Amino acid sequence: MSHGAGSEFSSSAGDAGAFDRRAFLGSALAALAAAALPGTLRGSEPGGALPPARLERIGLQLYTVRDSAAKDLDGTLARVAKIGYDDVEFAGYQGHSAAEVRGMLDRYRLLAPSAHVPLDRLRNELDKVLEEAQVVGHRYVVCPYIDDKERTPDGFADVAAALNQAGEKARAKGIALAYHNHDFEFTPLPDGRKPYDLLLALTEPDLVDMEMDLFWATKGGADPLAYFKQHPGRFTMVHAKDMDAAGNMTEVGKGKIDFRKIFAARQRAGLQNVFVEHDQPADPWASITDSYQYLKKLSFGTDMS
C-alpha cells in the first residue's frame, strides 16, 4: 500500500516521491474531469448534465479523538477505520516513532495524507519534520495555528516568510506545505487588512497551500466559496465541521454550512482531501460516526460557472 496517494475525490493523486505541485494539481483535476469512478466527474450525460458525485474517501483529523489517541493510538486508529474512515490527519504522534505510526496505518489500511505541525517545529526542526513525513507517508505538513504575539502586520509577514521558506524545502522532498485557519485571521488589522488575505498575498501559491477550516472561516464571517473564486487551486484541503444556529460547532450535516455547494466547487478550489473535525465534542466517537455517515451519503453536483 502506498501512502503517497489518496484523494477524497480521486484515487489517482500520484506518488509523493515525484511531487510537483503544478503537475500534481493539473493531473488531479484532469482525473476529476475524466475518471469513471464513484465520486469523480464521470463525463456528461445526454443533454450535457453531469451525474451527482460523492466523496471517494473521508478523512478524520485525529485531534477530535485526542484523549483516546493519547492513551492508545493503535486502538484508536483501529476504531476509526472500523467506522469507515479512509484517511487520518495527525496532530502529533502521541510519543510513537514515525515508523511505528506507519506500521499502525498499514495494519488498518489507513492513509495519512496530512499532519499538523506547530510553527516552531517548521522553523526549527524542519528536516526532522520532513523525514518523519516521508516515513509516515504524508503529502502535506500543515501549520495549524499562529500565537497571539505574532498576530500583527509584521508578525503575519514574518509567518508568511517562514511558510515560504519551509514550503520550498518541503517541495524539494516531495511534500507540500499548507496553512490551517481559525477565525482570528478574518478580523481586520488596524490598517483594515484581514490577516487571511495578507497570508494569501504574501505566501507563494506554488509553495503554500491552504487548508480551510470551514467552521472557523464561517465563524469569522468569511465566505469559503468567494475565497475559492478569488484564489483558485490553493485550497487543497478542508476541515469539515458544521455550525449550528447559535454559532456553535456541531457535527457535519447538523448545522447551516452548505457542504453540497462547498464540494460542488471542488475543482475551482483545488480540493483534494476532506477531514472531519470537532474541537470539543460531547462524545467524540458518536460525533465522528454521525459526521462520517452524513458525508458518506452526501451527493453533490459540479459548479461549472
4 domain residue, yes or no: no
49 domain residue, yes or no: no
Distances (CA, A) of 130 to 134, 213, 235: 6, 23, 21
| Per-residue confidence (pLDDT) for residue 50, from 0 to 100 | 64
Q: How confident is the model at residue 299 (pLDDT cuts 50, 70, 90)?
A: very high
Of 3, 25, 14, 19, nearest to 172 (Cα)?
Answer: 19
164 domain residue, yes or no: yes
Does residue 47 have a pLDDT over 70?
no
Q: Classify strands 237-240 and 208-213 as parallel, antiparallel or unpaired.
A: parallel
3-class SS at 141? Answer: strand
3 domain residue, yes or no: no
1 domain residue, yes or no: no
27 domain residue, yes or no: yes
User: The dihedral of CA 212, 127, 96, 109: what is its sign?
Assistant: positive
Question: The domain spanning residue 166 has which CATH number?
Answer: 3.20.20.150
Q: Which domain holds residue 258?
A: 16-40+54-297
140 domain residue, yes or no: yes
Please compute the mean of the pLDDT values over residues 9-13 and round it to a whole number. 38
The pTM assigned to this predicted structure is 0.85
3-class SS at 142? Answer: strand
Give the chain's domain count.
Answer: 1
Q: Which long-range contacts (CB under 8 A, 24 or more apart) does 124-133 make?
A: 126/166, 126/169, 126/170, 130/169, 130/170, 130/173, 130/175, 131/98, 132/93, 132/98, 133/98, 133/173, 133/175
C-alpha cell at 75: 486502538
| Per-residue confidence (pLDDT) for residue 16, from 0 to 100 | 38
Tens of pLDDT, residue by residue over 129-180, are 999 999 999 999 999 999 999 999 999 999 999 999 999 999 999 999 999 9
Tens of pLDDT, residue by residue over 219-248, are 999 999 999 999 999 999 999 999 999 999
Q: How confident is the model at residue 17 (pLDDT cuts 50, 70, 90)?
A: very low
| Per-residue confidence (pLDDT) for residue 51, from 0 to 100 | 74
- How many Å apart are CA 124 and CA 278, to the nearest integer? 29
State the residue for C-alpha cell 503517497. Answer: 4
Mean pLDDT, the chain, as a whole number? 88
Alpha helices (runs of H) in the chain, residue ranges in sequence order: 21-34, 66-71, 73-83, 98-107, 119-124, 126-136, 153-172, 195-202, 214-219, 224-230, 259-264, 266-269, 284-297
- How many Å apart are CA 31 and CA 44, to the nearest integer? 14
- Please give the helix or strand (H or E) that residue 239 lies within, else none: strand 237-240
241 domain residue, yes or no: yes
- Position 99, amino acid: A
